[in-house]
């Protein structure tokens, strides 16, 4: 049985629309998996956050970098965004495992009790040949791209 005209048209344009949505800034892009070990700890715990670099930044490591930040509980002594890592100046190959050890930034080196959330962004100050060669990458669509998110909890 032949397909109706509207059905044939929908089957032809669906791949084109899906491809266009995949490269639009702000579109739903799968985030890079991020692991935190341990997932919860005490006031003096050192947390290890790890992810695999989705983009090669070795071509221009001062203009393409990964930055990681953590936001603490809402209490005044713990609140605020903390920058805990930047790869600026250190090139990372695509797929390279990045491990960041995070210690308490607060007074007397203790975490405050509560939930912490974090983000990893890729920043391109001046997209280099990585984006010229791989234009389909989500991170090449804008200067700042969310790579992944993570959470951990301090219980004591």
Domain ranges of the chain: 25-154
User: How far, rounded to the nearest angstrom, does the alpha carbon of residue 25 sit from its chain's CA centroid?
Assistant: 15
pLDDT at 19: 41
pTM value > 0.85: no
User: Looking at the domain covering 25-154, what would its CATH class be?
Assistant: mainly beta
Q: What is the pLDDT of residue 108?
A: 73
Both tokens assigned to 87: 């790869």
The Cα 108–Cα 88 span in angstroms is 28
Secondary structure class of 97 (helix, strand, coil): strand
Per-residue model confidence (pLDDT) at position 11: 45
Q: Write down the mean pLDDT value for the chain.
A: 76
DSSP 8-state assignment for residue 109: G
C-alpha distances out from residue 108 to 72, 112, 129, Å: 16, 11, 44
In this model, does residue 27 exceed pLDDT 70?
no
What would the pLDDT profile of 101-155 be if each residue is shown by its tens digit? 998 877 777 888 899 999 999 887 655 555 555 556 555 555 788 999 999 999 9
Q: pLDDT tens digits, residue range 77-114?
A: 776 778 888 888 888 999 999 999 998 877 777 888 89
């Amino acid at each position: 049985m032949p397909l109706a005209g509207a059905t044939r048209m929908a089957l032809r344009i669906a791949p084109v629309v899906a491809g266009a949505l995949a490269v639009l800034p702000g579109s739903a892009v799968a985030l890079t998996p991020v692991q935190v070990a341990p997932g919860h700890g005490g006031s003096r715990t050192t947390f290890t956050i790890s992810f695999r670099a989705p983009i090669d930044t070795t071509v221009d490591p001062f203009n393409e970098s990964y930055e990681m930040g953590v936001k603490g509980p809402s209490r005044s002594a713990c609140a605020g965004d903390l920058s805990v890592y930047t790869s600026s100046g250190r090139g990372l190959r695509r797929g390279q495992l990045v491990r960041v050890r995070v210690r308490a930034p607060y007074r007397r080196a203790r975490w405050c009790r509560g939930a912490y959330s974090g983000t990893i962004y890729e920043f391109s100050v001046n997209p280099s040949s990585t984006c010229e060669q791989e234009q389909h990458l989500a991170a090449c669509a804008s200067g700042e791209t969310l790579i992944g998110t993570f959470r951990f909890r301090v219980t004591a």
